[in-house]
Amino acid sequence: MFNNVFSLLEINQWLVLIITAVFVGMGKTGVYGLGTLAAPILAVAFGGKVSAGLLLPMLSMADIVAVSWYNRHASWKHLWKLFPFAAAGVVIAIFVGEAINDNTFKIIMAVFILGGIPVMIWREYNKNTKPFRGSWYSGSFFGIAGGFSTMIGNAAGPLMNLYFLAMQLPKNVLIGTGAWFFLLINLFKIPFHILVWKTITVESITLNLMMLPFILIGAISGILIVRIIPEKPFRWFIIVMTTLASIRLIFNA
C-alpha cells in the first residue's frame, strides 16, 4: 500500500489524512468523539487494517501533546487497574486480526465503533449519577475490552470514557487520565503493528510525520474549544457523524 507512497496517494486520500490528523489532535485534547469519527473515515479511504496502522502513530503523537498539557491531572490509581488487562486485550486482538481479511476487519472495526455510540449517548443523558468505585474486577473488564477494541480499530475511546465518567472524574482529570492510558497502550501496540501485522512501515511513518503540524493545529484547537465553547451541540453532531461513518464502513466492506 505504501510503496511509492507519494505518487500513489490520490487527492481525496491526502484530504482524509489531513482531516484525520486535525480530528485526532482535537479528540485527544478534550473534544471527544472526533477520534472515533476519524477511524472509519480513514478506513474507507485506505482499508481496515492499513488504516489502523496508519492512524496509530498519529494517535501516539497526539497522546504526547495531551499528556504534556494535562499531565498533572492524571489519576494513576485508576490507571494501574487497567494497564495489565488492556495489554492482554491487545494480545488477544493480534491473533484475531491475523485470522481475518480486510473486509471482515472493517466490519469488526465498525461494530466496535457503533457499540460505543450508546456509551456516548449515555454520557450525554447521565450527568448526575453517583460515582462508581473502580475495582480490579471492573478494571479487568474495561481493560480487556478497551485493549481489544483499540487494537482492532483504535475504537476504545467511548468505552474508556464510560469507565472514567462512571468514577465522576473532573473534566481535566478525565482528560489527563485518558491521555496517559492511551499513550502507554498505543506505544505498546506499535511493535505488533510493525512486526506482526506489518501495517507500520518507513513510508507510513513518513506520512505520519507530515501530518504532525495538522495534529498540533487540532490539539491547540481542542484545548481552546474545551475552554470557551459549550460542547453539547457539537458533541451531538459528532455522535451522528460517527454513526453515519461507521455504517458507511460496513457497506464499503
Q: Is the pTM of this model over 0.75?
A: yes
Query: 109-168 pLDDT, tens per residue?
Result: 788 878 878 877 876 777 655 555 666 778 898 899 889 988 987 878 878 877 887 777
For residue 88, being part of any structural domain is answered with: yes
Q: Which amino acid is at 154?
A: N
For residue 14, being part of any structural domain is answered with: yes
Beta-strand (E) ranges in 108-244? none
Spatial neighbors of 77 by CB under 8 A, at least 6 apart, are none
Query: 166-204 pLDDT, tens per residue?
Result: 777 777 888 889 899 999 999 999 999 999 999 999 989
Q: Which amino acid is at 181?
A: F
Contact 190, 57 (CB under 8 A): yes
Tally the domains of the chain.
1
Q: How many CB atoms lie within 10 A of CB 206?
A: 13
Show the domain range for 80. Answer: 10-251
For residue 5, being part of any structural domain is answered with: no
